[in-house]
Chains A and B, each alone.
Chain A
Amino acid sequence: MIWSDLWDVLLLRDYNTRVVLLGVALLGAASGLVGSFTLLRKRSLMGDALAHASLPGLVIAFMIAVAAGGDGKSMPLLLAGATMGGLAGVACILFLQRFTKLKQDATLGIVLSVFFGLGVVLLGITQKMDAGHSAGLETYIFGKTASMRRADGIMIAITALISILVTGVLFKELKLLCFDADFAGSRGLRVWLLDTILMVLVVMVTMVGLQAVGLVLMVAMLVIPAAAARFWTESIFRLALVSASIGLVGSVLGATASAVMADLPSGAMIVLACALLFAVSMFFGTQRGVLPRLWRRRQLNAKIARQHLLRGIYELSEAEFQDANPGHWVSLIDLLQKRSWNSKQLRRQIETAELVELVRYKTDQVALTSAGYAEAARLTRQHRLWELYLVHYADVATARVDRDADDIEHVLEHDVVEKLERLLDHDPIRIAVPSSPHAMEST
């Protein structure tokens, strides 16, 4: 039964599942961690390029082994060959970026395709050679999924540990590198050295991961968790943590799904699980997610609309009654002409403002409550202080300041207002509203 299977998997009863689950979890965490730095360095697809670039190294290692009389399928040798190939690819990419005007994407494409082509050529030769037990050599690079052995698990664990250690020790330097490489250079950091270290980490994780999940899926492990984590945080430390966790959770979810349901390939399931986490993050991520961002914008728009309403009423009653005390009723028709809002929008604004007792409303007339009055006076004061500032210090024509101040009044912080008061010599204690420097249109 599926449920009992699930239970077995989750409790790690079976030895094989235990190895696989722990292995992919560590791999997910390590690639998520490393991936968060490559994402910020805008090198997400580096893993893709160097994974492809490892093919010629792999085949050459095999050829050397065969020529030396071995059977060529010794794992450490192949791994070493592939790593050399990957490193050579990285070196070419960094070289091209440094000495030509080609952009990153083009250099990745060139190295990826030419190295891989070379690998295919060499592979074609070995397959037709007499000594060819090379069948299945390329499966190395495209992964064999879900048959992780203890040795693979240990290898992954070591890699994960190394990446955690290196990123931990070099955290500050990598952070500087990711955000401002030029600045990092000017602070005496060796940018190329850091870049190389980062790339060596990527190569390591990729080489180990190629075995476990295959090429394309390894690329996914380097890109998706980091891209997903970016929606949740603006701090690089948390980004690394969240990214590693997403990689870990996604891997465990995917591996569990494939362990429970027989005919789902684990590598693909891991990627799909990560993709699911990415989709969730993209919509709901608290910092940059689409929906929270929309929500924040709506909140801001609502606040601005309410502030416009309050100041509108204030200015009208000031114009009609010379002072703008609470309780002066102004007509909706006048209010409607103050701004480009239609009567429906205006009514809705008034209704919501009435709910929080900032205004009172009776047929076609509206007035400020004393709370509303205090708020409106504060806003009008900010607006006019800014106008005065523009007139006196920025030499903006009096007729034009209203519009500029209109934009800025909603975001004036307390300390800015204080500065304005000091600059313009206004007494901060009373709610003294300076009279408007331009003629009020509604009078």
Chain B
Amino acid sequence: MAMLAVLQGWDWQFDGWIMVVGVLCATSTALLGNFLVLRRMSMLGDAVSHAVLPGLVAAFLISHSRSSLAMFVGAVIVGVLTAMFTEWIRRFGRVEESAAMGVVFTSLFALGLVMIVQADHVDLDADCVLYGAIDLTPMFTVNIGAYEVPQAAVVLSVVTLINAAFVLVCYKELKISSFDPSLAHSQGVRPAWMHYALMVLVAVTTVACFESVGNILVVAMLVVPPSAAFLLTHRLGLMIVLSVVIGAAGAILGHVGAFAIPRAFGMPSTSTAGMMSVALGGLFVLALLFAPQQGLVSRSIRRFVLSQQILRDDIVAYLYRAGERHGEAIAKRSDLITELFSSAVPMSLALRRLVRQDCIRDCGQQIELTKQGEKLGKALVRSHRLWESYLVEQAELDRSKIHDKAEQWEHFTGQALRDRLVDQTSSTGLDPHGTVIPAEPKSDDDGPPDAS
């Protein structure tokens, strides 16, 4: 119910169009943004959207009007010039790409500022360029058939279609020239043409979008969804699809958020464009944390699971060695913690799991190895000592250096590998330190016990 109260004053006719425009912006930019991110040119949108200022002013001075078409053409021309100047300075001046970009767009922007002052009655709204006017887009409509459609929605639909067509038709060429320009060249694709085609489309899209969402949100939409998608997948096709979905979701969430969140605190709604980039940022953070392969949280969970597995192995091996030395495989919990460089919480987690696996008996402070656990410990210690023998005999390592490696590899050594190690080492039955290598545990259940 609170949710509904917050959404009071929501008008599907009006707010629906805002979301449509936002989604169209997000789609058209995300399509191209993937390739910018892959080509390490993410800042191009930023550069183009700043640099178009002189184009806008010149169009105004020449046409003496604020007609959208003249402005659009002027801005696109300067946008393309920005990309070309950057490329020239990079190639002929051998300046690093981002520096070249910085030189070009700031100079053009400064030129635009000077031109504005010279033409003293230029009526350009700096706020509109910076923050966009997406909240106003439903007010400027054109009639298509019987429907009244916001102009921005029409323009952006066309741009989205063009971009989608470009990406579909030139998918292979774009892919190959983004990842390996030399290979592209050798296959008869012209990487330079792809580059310029992409630049022109980025300029057109940026100009078309920044009127509605402002130049900073253009950067957000170009860069953030593809970057999030980049963290989620390794496949280009999927990355493009994901980036479009993320971009659209960010646009919708952004508008709803701008509408609802401040109201929840009793304040009037805030900038939609700003909230859209915040929403995109939020989605990016989610991807950053929870991406299945590369997410920070997923990565640390995997690392924790692995460390638990290793700790369990270490406990069992420690108990087995204690049994070898003193006849009974028993150790104190506190000794285990200090000897295995662990701490209380991970240790009790590992012990609980081992009890469930029936490898140990937990008698309060004393930990005791079971039959099942002894078999596991035997296999681990056997792997360890076999590796030590192998390292001394075959890799000719010094005896002081073999322990650490054997300690690492014992966890990943199954019976098949142990048998091969036996073949490769002299079968004295003793490891390089002179201790007995335990015999292979008789397996009533198959497979290496540590692969559980």
Residues on A close to B: CB < 8 A?
A: 39, 42-45, 48, 52, 96, 99-106, 108-110, 112-114, 116-125, 128-129, 142, 216-217, 219-220, 222-224, 226-227, 230-231, 263-265, 267-272, 274-275, 278, 282, 288, 290
Contacts and interface: CB of A to CB of B under 8 A. Distances in A.
B331 interface: no
Given A103-B40, A220-B107, A128 B100 contact: no
Chain B contact residues (Cβ within 8 angstroms of A): what range? 35 or more
A226 B98 CA distance: 13
Contacts of B275: 117, 121
B285 to A, nearest CB: 9
B12 interface: no
Contacts of B42: 103, 105-106, 108-109
Interface string B103-114: 101110111011
B54 to A, nearest CB: 11
Nearest to B132: A120
B296 A99 contact: yes
Interface stretch (B177-185, B222-230, B350-358): B222-230
Contact of A272 (B101, B111, B276): B111
22 contacts: A45-B98, A48-B102, A52-B216, A100-B288, A109-B43, A109-B220, A109-B227, A112-B216, A118-B281, A120-B216, A120-B274, A123-B271, A124-B271, A124-B274, A223-B106, A224-B107, A227-B103, A263-B117, A265-B114, A271-B110, A272-B111, A282-B93
B99 A223 contact: yes
Contacts of B280: 113-114, 117
B294 A109 contact: no
B99 A48 contact: no
The interface centre, meaning the residue of A42, A117, A216, A223 with most chain B CB atoms within 10 A of its CB, is A117
Interface stretch (B1-9, B262-270, B334-342, B398-406): B262-270
A114 B96 contact: no
Given A100-B231, A109-B46, A113-B216, A227 B102 contact: yes
Contacts of B111: 268, 272
Contact of B113 (A121, A122, A265, A290): A265
B99 A114 contact: no
B277 A114 contact: yes
B364 to A, nearest CB: 42
B223 A268 contact: no
B106 A220 contact: yes
A101 B93 contact: no
Nearest to B45: A109
Contacts of B262: 124-125
Interface of B: 37, 40-43, 45-46, 50, 89, 92-96, 98-103, 105-107, 109-111, 113-114, 117-118, 120, 126, 131, 216-217, 219-220, 222-224, 226-227, 230-231, 258, 262, 267-271, 273-278, 280-281, 284, 288, 294, 296
B288 A120 contact: no
Please name the 9 residue pairs, one residue from A and one from B, whose CB atoms are nearest each other, closest first: A117-B277, A120-B274, A114-B281, A220-B106, A113-B220, A124-B270, A109-B223, A223-B102, A271-B110
B40 A112 contact: no
B267 A113 contact: no
A110 B223 contact: yes
Given A108-B42, A224-B107, A231-B93, A117 B102 contact: no
Given A272-B107, A275-B107, A117 B117 contact: no
B267 A129 contact: yes
B105 to A, nearest CB: 8
